[in-house]
Amino acid sequence: MRATRQNAIRPVRLLVAALVSSQSGVVAKIQPQDIKAVSCAVCELAVEKAIGAGLDEDNVEDLCEPKNKLGRWLAQLDLVDESDGRITVQDMGTAGQCRKECSTASRACRNWALEDTDALLAMLRKGSSAGRIKGKLCKKSCKQYRNLVANRPQDEEFKEVDAKIAEMEDMMKDMKEKTGMGMKMYSREDFASMSDGDMEAMAAREQLAQERMESRYMNGDMPEVPPSPDL
C-alpha cells in the first residue's frame, strides 16, 4: 500500500515542482504614499493597455489584476527610486515576480483607472483617444501626485520569471472555469511543508478535476482538452 500511495503522489510532486509559484516569499506591507507616487504613471499605462483589449462589464476589473491575462502587464513594471525621492515606473517588457511593487501598481490601477468603470467603458466604446481617456481618468492623480516624493526605505529588485509560469496559470484558470475545479500554485514553502496526507489529498483533487473534464468532453460540453505544454 505504501508503494502504491507513493506512486500516486510522485507525479503530483513532479507537477507541483514544475509549477512552483514565482510569488513565494512574504510581501511587505504596501504604503499609501507609494501608491499615490505611482498613480499617475500607472493610470496612464492602464489606459493604454485598455484600448483594444476588448473590455466589457464582465472583465474590466481584470485590467488591474496581475494574475489575469488582461492585468499581466502590471507584473512587468519596475518601480525605480530616483535620487530626489520620487518613484518612476518602468516597463521591463517581461514578466517579473508579483511582490510589493507589483501589488502597489495594482492598487494604484484599481484606485484610479477603475475609479469610474462606466466612464472608461463608455469612452472605449466611442473610440475615444488615449489622451482623452487619460484626461478623464488620470487627470486628478497626475495633478496631485505626479511629482510626489515618497522616499522609500528600499527599492525592491525586479526579478524576472519564466513566461511558462504565466502560461500554466492561464491553463489552470481555464481548467477551473471548465470543470469547476483546478490546480493551485504553491510556493516552495508550501510544498516543503506538505505531508503525505496533503499530497494524497491534492492528488485526489487533481484526479477528480481531470475526470470531470474528460466526462464533460465525452458529453460534448467542452472542446477537446488541449495537450499539456512542455515544462
Categorize the per-residue pLDDT at 199 as very low, low, confident or very high, splitting at 50, 70 and 90: low
Q: Please answer whether residues 16 and 186 qualify as being in contact, where contact means their C-beta atoms are separated by less than 8 angstroms.
A: yes
* 0.85 surpassed by pTM: no
131: left (phi over 0), alpha (psi -120 to 50) or beta: alpha
Residue 46 or residue 18, greater confidence: 46
Give start and end residues of each alpha helix (H) in 23-113: 32-50, 100-108
DSSP, res 6: H
Across the chain, mean pLDDT equals: 80
167 closest CA partner among 18, 11, 10, 8: 18
Q: Please answer whether residues 133 and 123 qualify as being in contact, where contact means their C-beta atoms are separated by less than 8 angstroms.
A: yes
Pairwise CA distance, residues 17 & 175, whole Å: 19
Query: pLDDT tens digit string along 151-183?
Result: 999 999 999 988 777 777 777 777 666 655 555
Q: Which of 20-34, 41-55, 61-75, 96-110 has the lowest mean pLDDT?
A: 20-34
Bridge partners of 160, per DSSP, are 96
- Check pLDDT > 90 for residue 9: no
Overall average pLDDT of the 63-74 stretch: 94
Query: pLDDT tens digit string along 73-124?
Result: 999 999 999 999 999 999 999 999 999 999 999 999 999 999 999 999 999 9
Look up cell 505544454; give the residue.
Answer: 229
